[in-house]
């Protein structure tokens, strides 16, 4: 991961700067992706196995507004969830046949390696260390790490350089935890970002750090309490995690993503979820490594 101190990072700039646009009054709700009828795949591939089973298990976050948040019915809702549904639909699997499993930052690789999930779509940053144990399709979105502070920014934090020796909260095992260590060693790590909000409210920490889109969702869900510094200092390409070296499945997912970019399904998924708070970016080019 490339940390950029004081520089604009191009991926986010090209994606429309991802500034908060205020809560749009679109009232949009996700529409079910059209399910492929009787899709055919080469025997022995993951696609063929999942299509034959008629169901699949997808890991996602359950505590991150706009991307993956447990809804009233128990299933998660958000942009990551809609991306998972798009992939399932191309396998002939309807949304109500998906089993959603909560994945936190620290268990995403083990869940994939152990076969507990077929995919992970969970604000999952692609990096070389993770590529050693899992494969990634995508990216399907590019974010950047930022800081969440109390409304009014009482500590006048403008960026990570202002955090020297100051306590900061993030999630254990996340890319954010590794990145913020370049600026402060006073890090409180927990299992979910929601568990960082109490320490921020009480003053035990001066900031919470993770990707800007996650922080924007938290601020939106807690109106008037927090604000995003809006000075991202990393590039965070979100990928879809799958079993290591499952090249056929990875290629299939990348094809689905590229098709969704062209036919508008990706934009529709964004506008009905994260787009209620954030501007619509350009989708990133998938990596055909």
- Over 50: is that where the pLDDT of 12 sits? no
Side-by-side strand order, sheet with 63-64: 63-64, 68-70, 76-77
Residue 19: its pLDDT value, please? 35
Phi, psi of 282 (to 5 degrees): -80, 135
| DSSP structure class, residue 110 | H
Residue 2: its pLDDT value, please? 38
Length reported for the chain: 289
Angle at 88 between CA 246 and CA 59, to 5 degrees: 70
Contact predicate 146/230, CB 8 Å: yes
Element at 52 (helix H, strand E): helix 46-53
**Tokens standing for residue 195:** 């568990």
Question: SS3 breakdown of the chain: % helix, strand, coil, rounded to 5?
Answer: 35, 20, 45
Q: pLDDT: is 177 or 7 the higher one? A: 177
**Tokens standing for residue 120:** 């992970």
- The region that residue 77 occupies, defined by phi over 0 for left and psi between -120 and 50 for alpha, beta otherwise, is beta
Q: What predicted TM-score, i.e. pTM, was given to this entire model? A: 0.80
pLDDT digit string, tens, across residues 36-79? 999 999 999 999 999 999 999 999 999 888 999 998 889 999 99
Element at 60 (helix H, strand E): strand 56-60
pLDDT digit string, tens, across residues 132-148? 999 999 999 999 999 99
Rounded CA separation 64/12 (Å): 20
The pairing of strands 134-143 and 236-243 is antiparallel
Phi, psi of 43 (to 5 degrees): -60, 140
Three-state DSSP state, 64: strand
Rounded CA separation 119/215 (Å): 24
- Over 80: is that where the pLDDT of 266 sits? yes
**Other CB atoms closer than 10 Å to residue 128's CB: what's the count?**
7
């Amino acid at each position: 991961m490339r940390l950029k101190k004081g520089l604009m990072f191009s991926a986010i700039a090209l994606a429309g700067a991802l500034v908060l646009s205020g809560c749009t009054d679109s009232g949009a709700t996700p529409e079910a992706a059209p399910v492929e009828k009787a899709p055919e795949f080469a025997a022995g591939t993951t696609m063929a196995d999942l299509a034959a089973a008629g169901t699949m298990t997808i890991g996602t976050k359950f505590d991150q507004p706009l991307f993956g948040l447990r809804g009233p019915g128990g299933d998660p809702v958000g942009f990551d969830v809609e991306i998972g549904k798009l992939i399932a639909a191309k396998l002939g699997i309807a949304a109500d046949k998906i089993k959603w499993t909560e994945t936190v930052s620290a268990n995403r690789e083990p869940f994939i390696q152990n076969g507990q999930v077929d995919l992970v779509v969970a604000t999952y940053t692609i990096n070389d260390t993770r590529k050693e144990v899992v494969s990634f399709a995508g990216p399907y979105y590019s974010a950047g790490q930022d800081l969440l502070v109390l409304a009014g920014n009482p500590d006048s934090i403008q960026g990570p350089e202002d955090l020297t020796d100051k306590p900061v909260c993030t999630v254990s095992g996340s890319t954010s935890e590794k990145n913020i260590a370049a600026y402060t060693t006073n890090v409180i790590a927990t299992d979910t970002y929601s568990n960082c909000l109490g320490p921020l409210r009480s003053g035990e920490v001066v900031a919470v750090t993770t990707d800007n889109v996650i922080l924007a969702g938290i601020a939106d869900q807690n109106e008037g309490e927090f604000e995003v510094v809006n000075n991202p200092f990393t590039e965070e390409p979100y990928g879809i995690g799958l079993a290591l070296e499952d090249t056929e499945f990875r290629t299939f997912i990348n094809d689905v993503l590229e098709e969704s970019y062209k036919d508008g399904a990706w934009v529709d998924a964004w506008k009905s979820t994260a787009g209620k708070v954030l501007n619509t970016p350009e989708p990133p080019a998938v990596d055909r490594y």
